[in-house]
């Protein structure tokens, strides 16, 4: 077969979750909560199904859901999204990201991405003939060197992809970062894809710097969001994207032919559920407690760390334990110690191995305690 993606193998999330299941390991690899979704939200889905909302939703999404999303975004980020033309409901952020890339990337267009990068960006760009221009984030804090970015922007640059809070590092972009980016993109027609799926999972009183807050960015941005992260429903594959009218019109030309629309009853439920802002405003505290518990339990282990500022992932450095590569070490931890994590090198430029593993702390207290007990013995 003449593969369109000869270098691509099965995603690390599937590889590690499968290995975790095979060995009965505590699975802190693939990012998903192991506690239940709010029963109130589930009841709203059931109700929508019972009321007969079981056929196609409108192509861009249910208007009442788009309205409440626009209202929430405009309130939080002082933006001005129009629910009719500038919000589209998608089947997860993954579909939004793929659709954005497919709607705009032509052969030889350059796309700047920051490594370590979430693993769906690159294959999506490659499929449409785009050229990936990777920039490694600077250690130890996964920061962006904006001067380096300036040197990588060319007349072929079509898109820049950012992700804050950042998977896998848990770092975030500051207001200063966003202003630097705004200045760099000024006067160009470069599109920004701002992947903000963890917008509500941010700690230590820090504020999420959405691209929506910066007029010079918002005018050229797609912002992607995920209800999977926000409402502990990764299996529902529900999300949305925001963009100015002209950009969104192009997005919808593709969206109507790759999914047409997303799950209708779930859209009814989410529209109702979002009326209560506590459902998402409570997330920083909720997840900070989990992060703090996990870190307090592993602080006397041989792993070292900088606390995550956002996301539900914590990186642990293991160089004091072994020289093993992170892929081999993650595999051995799963098989021999029954704890699964994600090796970060798979997301890095040239698989750079900094001897760090990513652990998901979206877990019950009991699971976090059991996991930490294992980690402290290694
Ligand atoms: N972007 C990032 C950075 C993610 O971590 C994820 C979820 N793993 C996604 C996009 C995809 O989100 P969804 O599950 O809604 O497709
Ligand atoms: N976003 C999740 C993670 O980073 C996994 C998503 C997936 O499995 N594709 O672990």
- For ligand 1, atom 14, the nearest C-alpha belongs to 92
For the CA of 92, the nearest ligand: 1
Q: Which CATH architecture has domain 12-30+282-376?
A: Alpha-Beta Complex (3.90)
Residues of the chain with pLDDT under 70: none
For the CA of 99, the nearest ligand: 1
The predicted pLDDT at position 331 comes to 98
Ligand 1 center to 323 CA (angstroms): 31
Domain ranges of the chain: 12-30+282-376, 41-279
3-state secondary structure the chain: CCCCCCCCCCCHHHHHHHHHHHCCCEECCCCCCCCCCCHHHHHHHHHHHHCCCCCCCCCCCCHHHHHHHHHHHHHHHCCCCCCCCCEEEECHHHHHHHHHHHHHCCCCCEEEEEECCCCCHHHHHHHCCCEEEEEECECCCCECCHHHHHHHCCCCEEEEEEECCCCCCCCCCCHHHHHHHHHHHCCCCCEEEEECCCCCCECCCCCCCCHHHCHHHHCCEEEEEEHHHHCCCHHHCCEEEECCHHHHHHHHHHHHHHCCCCCHHHHHHHHHHCCCCHHHHCHHHHHHHHHHHHHHHHCCCCCECCCCCECCEEEEECCCCCCCCHHHHHHHHHHHHCEECEEHHHHCHHHCCCCEEEEECCCCHHHHHHHHHHHHCC
The predicted pLDDT at position 335 comes to 98
- For ligand 2, atom 7, the nearest C-alpha belongs to 13
Counting ligand 1 atoms within 8 A of each CB, the residue from 29, 163, 226, 310 with the most, and so the one to mutate, is 226
Ligand 1 center to 119 CA (angstroms): 9
The predicted pLDDT at position 88 comes to 99
Quote the pTM value: 0.98
Query: Which atom of ligand 1 lies closest to the CA of 30?
Result: 8
CATH topology for 41-279 is 3.40.640
The predicted pLDDT at position 221 comes to 98
ipTM > 0.85, yes or no: yes
Query: Which atom of ligand 2 lies closest to the CA of 31?
Result: 10
- Per residue in 323-336, pLDDT (tens digit) is 999 999 999 999 99
The predicted pLDDT at position 312 comes to 98
The predicted pLDDT at position 126 comes to 97
Counting ligand 2 atoms within 8 A of each CB, the residue from 19, 32, 312, 340 with the most, and so the one to mutate, is 32
- Per residue in 100-120, pLDDT (tens digit) is 999 999 999 999 999 999 999
Ligand 2 center to 170 CA (angstroms): 14
């Amino acid at each position: 077969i003449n593969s369109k993606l000869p270098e691509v193998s099965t995603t690390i999330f599937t590889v590690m979750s499968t290995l975790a299941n095979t060995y009965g390991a505590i699975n802190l690899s693939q990012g998903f909560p192991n506690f239940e979704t709010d029963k109130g939200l589930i009841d709203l889905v059931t109700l929508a199904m019972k009321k007969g909302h079981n056929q196609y939703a409108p192509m861009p999404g249910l208007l009442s859901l788009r309205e409440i999303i626009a209202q929430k975004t405009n309130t939080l980020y002082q933006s001005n999204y129009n629910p009719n033309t500038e919000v589209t409901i998608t089947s997860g952020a993954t579909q939004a990201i793929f659709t954005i890339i497919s709607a705009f990337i032509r052969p030889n267009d350059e796309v700047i991405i920051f490594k370590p990068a979430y693993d769906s960006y690159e294959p999506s760009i490659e499929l449409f003939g785009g050229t990936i221009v990777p920039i490694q984030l600077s250690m130890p804090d996964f920061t962006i060197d904006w001067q380096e970015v300036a040197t990588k922007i060319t007349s072929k640059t079509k898109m820049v992809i950012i992700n804050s809070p950042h998977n896998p590092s848990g770092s975030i972009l500051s207001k200063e970062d966003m202003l630097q980016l705004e200045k760099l993109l000024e006067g160009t027609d470069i599109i920004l894809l701002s992947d903000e799926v963890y917008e509500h999972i941010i700690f230590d009183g820090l504020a999420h710097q959405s691209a929506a807050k910066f007029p010079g960015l918002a005018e050229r941005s797609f912002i992607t969001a995920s209800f999977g992260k926000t409402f502990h429903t990764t299996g529902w594959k529900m999300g949305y994207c925001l963009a100015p009218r002209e950009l969104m019109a192009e997005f919808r030309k593709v969206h109507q032919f790759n999914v047409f629309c997303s799950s209708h009853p779930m859209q009814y439920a989410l529209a109702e559920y979002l009326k209560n802002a506590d459902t998402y405003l409570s997330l920083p505290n909720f997840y900070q407690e989990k992060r703090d518990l996990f870190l307090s339990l592993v602080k006397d282990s041989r792993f070292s760390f900088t606390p995550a500022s956002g996301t539900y992932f914590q990186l642990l450095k293991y160089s004091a334990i072994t020289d093993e590569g992170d892929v081999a070490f993650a595999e051995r931890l799963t098989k021999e110690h029954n704890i699964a994590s994600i090796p970060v090198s798979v997301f890095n430029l040239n698989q750079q191995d900094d001897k760090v593993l990513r652990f998901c702390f979206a877990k019950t207290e009991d699971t976090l305690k059991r996991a930490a007990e294992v980690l402290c013995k290694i």
